[in-house]
Amino acid sequence: MKQIRKVLVANRGEIAIRVMRTCREMGIATVAVYSEADRTSLHVRYADEAWYIGKSPSPESYLHIDHILDAARKSGADAIHPGYGFLSENAVFAERCAAEGITFIGPSPEVIRQMGDKISAREAMKRAGIPVVPGTEGVVVEEQEALDFAREAGFPVMVKAAAGGGGKGMRLIHNEEELYPALRAARSEALAAFGDDALYLEKFITTPHHIEFQILADEHGHTLHLFERECSIQRRHQKMIEETPSPLMTPELRARMGETAVRAAQAVGYTGAGTIEFLVDDTLQYYFLEMNTRLQVEHPITERVTGVDLVKQQILVAMGLPLSFTQEELFQRGHAMECRIYAEDPDNNFLPSAGKISRITEPTGLGIRTDGYVYEGYEIPIFYDPMISKLIVWGSSREETISRMKRALYEYKITGVKTSVRFLERIMNCPDFTAGNYDTSFIEKNKACLESSETCRNACEDMVIIAAYIDYREKLGRLLESKEFQPVQNRWKKTTHIHHF
């Protein structure tokens, strides 16, 4: 067993505070690291100590391995929690921690590296007999090979970067004419974005559900799942709302997918908390998509329905302790939903809305959790992800959860920056959403219903004006054609022409 007495959280924002809260509960000291722009950030104040790690741009601070390890060494931290994003799935960082004798709270560098390479992840799953999206064997080198696959599988197909993930470097190809140009573009994009131009192709699964399973495994061979999370409400690969249980799920499908997720984790020797992402098509056929070797943004909905603190479990596993519960002891109780609150303007193409928080009041009450980090007077930095907080709501049923979420969103008042709160309210009022009848095309399919009330109102007003004008023109035309119409006599001219403007 490795005693952990002090954890450095190599992250910022809400997740840094969230991790530090669990550390505090466990009697573990906390170390914050901060950049120039984060001098006034809440995680700096919350931690027992704080270390400056560099300038605001992430590469000079939160992505700078040496600066972070310097802070770990100087603070005497015996473990590092990477949160999500930044270095959380960086195998080199995990290796450097190990080399410094610092416990990296997460899976081994080998597993991080293997799951970070989407082709080797697929190969590992195929070997374990886990269904993967039909695709090419290994890296696509020759364009002819891609054409052969696409002809065999049938269009549309998706080209993806082996070093990508999360939708980065993906392209949808509808026919042969598009294939070669798309391959070349994807290859140069992948090289630029990831320094690795390896590509692969998959059959496109139309309007899939994006369902993921939470995994937890210790270093003593115990692996279990903590059920699913439905993540199909996404905009440009950015999740907006997640919920558990999934409206699509049946007990039988849940058991099969859960067993598959556990087998996937065992197949790669996973330890700690991880997530298996699946695509599920409209025949409820499911396919392994990716494995995330980090804690996910949306983990709180799983915590709420199972009662398990996933960060606490990560730390206990990192200490080398066996899991203290079995699969049979885990149940989903009620229904939880997360809305991500972004400082973005949904009525202006979701452009980030920087600025100072002048007022904020957050909802509270039974079944309501807000994981945030902003406060009145706080200036939201432009350097990082614009997520302000996560609103996690629980209810005894999906209906109760939605009505409670509506109430919570109504209470959520943030002034000084534009936020996605109003957009989330519109989703809560969308019939397809409230009926649980949605997949990853939801945002696209419900554009009209999701337009801002302002935009809707403007559009409606325009419609009213246009309708009135058309009505006027029709009446005028009938009048002009009618017999009783007598043109106004003008003593200077025979008739007066009516000039239509």
User: Which residues of this chain interact with ligand MV4, rule CB under 6 A?
Assistant: 133, 158, 166-167, 170, 202-205, 208, 210, 234, 237, 279, 289, 440
- The answer to whether 51 touches 10, Cβ cutoff 8 Å, is no
Residue 369: left if φ>0, alpha if ψ -120 to 50, beta else—which one?
A: beta
Length of the chain: 501
3-class DSSP state for residue 370?
strand
* Least distance (Å) between residue 178 CB and ligand MV4: 16
- The answer to whether 62 touches 12, Cβ cutoff 8 Å, is yes
Catalytic sites, residue numbers? 294
How many other CB atoms sit within 10 Å of the CB of residue 331?
Answer: 9
Q: Give the CA distances from residue 87 to residues 186, 206, 219, in Å, rounded to whole numbers and listed in that order.
A: 24, 32, 22
Task: Name which of 103 and 275 has its Cβ closer to ligand MV4.
Answer: 275
Task: Name which of 82 and 208 has its Cβ closer to ligand MV4.
Answer: 208
Task: Name which of 160 and 335 has its Cβ closer to ligand MV4.
Answer: 160
* Least distance (Å) between residue 157 CB and ligand MV4: 8
d(CA 210, CA 248): 11
**Which of the 8 DSSP states describes residue 338?**
E
The answer to whether the peptide bond before residue 245 is cis (omega within 30 degrees of 0) is yes
Which among 37, 86, 32, 85 is positioned nearest to 57, based on CA atoms?
37
d(CA 489, CA 196): 83
* Least distance (Å) between residue 164 CB and ligand MV4: 8
**Which of the 8 DSSP states describes residue 132?**
B
* Least distance (Å) between residue 229 CB and ligand MV4: 13
* Least distance (Å) between residue 235 CB and ligand MV4: 8
Burial class (CB in 10 A: 0-12, 13-18, 19+), 154: exposed
- The answer to whether 260 touches 241, Cβ cutoff 8 Å, is no
Q: Give the CA distances from residue 409 to residues 370, 413, 442, 470, in Å, rounded to whole numbers and listed in that order.
A: 11, 8, 20, 41
- The answer to whether 59 touches 68, Cβ cutoff 8 Å, is no
What is the signed CA dihedral for 281, 423, 297, 168, rounded to 10 degrees? 60
* Least distance (Å) between residue 163 CB and ligand MV4: 13
Residues in Cβ contact with 135 at an 8 Å cutoff, skipping those fewer than 6 apart: 122, 149, 153, 200, 201, 202, 203
* Least distance (Å) between residue 346 CB and ligand MV4: 18
Task: Name which of 234 and 327 has its Cβ closer to ligand MV4.
Answer: 234
Task: Name which of 206 and 429 has its Cβ closer to ligand MV4.
Answer: 206
* Least distance (Å) between residue 472 CB and ligand MV4: 45
